[in-house]
């Protein structure tokens, strides 16, 4: 018996994605995500990220097909033989980061990030940050535009644009990467074990306000942020054989 009889289709708002949604729903049927064996996301990387966030704890595998632009997290779009492709697909398991942000007025906020947790200066003045890893201060003062903690899945996104390292998808690591560092001038970040807890304290928060962002969830005027991998949450991403996320991340390091 096939494992993926009940398919839930979700799509971005673009015309191309909407057309694909109608065609595939008519051909294969469409059930509610909570009743599905698999969720098929039609759009770009943003839609795939959004779909994963919406179903973080459902443990339903997600198979993306590119109806957007870059499509790094997605498979090629084809209308034919979808169920056969799903049966043959390889599964990549990833874990999000949990961000706990403390505001200047005492409020505490939590959010999950699949790609990265980032801290940014809010005004023209550079941020001053202190970085602690597992209760040991590793950098007493970092003057910068910001800093981020990226998962292996997110290491090819904003982390790469900030000149951070690309991490193999199965590596038990996190990337700690500064954004436009001014002092220390030559600090380019660090690779951390995925079990590490990173605490980032904002120095002079009144004079140099900082916001904290977990993927697309932002909290402004924070005074400290803790980041740790949420290993108890499994996200199942499905890829066609030979085009897995692990292969794409490896290929990215060779420029293709």
| Catalytic sites, residue numbers | 45
Matching residue, tokens 């306000």? 209
Q: Please give the DSSP secondary-structure letter assigned to residue 244.
A: -
Cα dihedral sign for 37, 41, 46, 50? negative
Distance set, CA 144 to CA 15, 16, 74, 148 (Å): 41, 40, 33, 11
Edge-to-edge order in the sheet of strand 62-66:
7-11, 38-43, 62-66, 235-239, 90-94
Query: For residue 121, how many C-alpha atoms fall within 13 Å in the half-sphere facing its CB?
Result: 21
What is d(CA 135, CA 95) in angstroms, rounded to the nearest whole number?
Answer: 23
């Amino acid at each position: 018996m096939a494992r993926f009889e009940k398919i839930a289709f979700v799509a971005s708002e673009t015309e191309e994605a909407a057309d694909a949604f109608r065609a595939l729903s008519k051909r294969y049927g469409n059930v509610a995500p909570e009743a599905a064996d698999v969720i098929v996301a039609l759009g770009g990387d943003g839609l795939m990220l959004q779909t994963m966030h919406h179903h973080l704890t459902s443990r339903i595998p997600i198979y993306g097909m590119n109806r957007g632009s870059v499509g790094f997290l997605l498979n090629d779009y084809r209308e034919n033989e979808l169920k056969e492709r799903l049966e043959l697909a390889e599964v990549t398991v990833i874990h999000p980061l949990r961000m706990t942000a403390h505001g200047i007025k005492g409020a505490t906020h939590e959010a999950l990030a699949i790609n990265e947790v980032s801290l940014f200066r809010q005004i023209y003045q550079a941020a001053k940050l202190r970085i602690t890893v597992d209760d040991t201060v590793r950098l007493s003062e970092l003057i910068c535009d910001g800093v981020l903690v990226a998962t292996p899945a997110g290491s090819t996104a904003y982390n790469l644009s900030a000149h951070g390292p690309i991490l193999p998808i199965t590596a038990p690591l996190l990337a700690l990467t500064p954004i436009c560092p001014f002092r220390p001038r030559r600090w380019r970040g660090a690779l951390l074990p995925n079990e590490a807890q990173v605490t980032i304290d904002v120095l002079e928060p009144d004079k140099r306000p900082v916001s904290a962002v977990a993927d697309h969830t932002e909290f402004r005027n924070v005074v400290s942020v803790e980041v740790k991998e949420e290993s108890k949450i499994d996200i199942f991403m499905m890829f066609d054989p030979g085009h897995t996320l692990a292969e794409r991340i490896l290929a990215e390091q060779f420029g293709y």
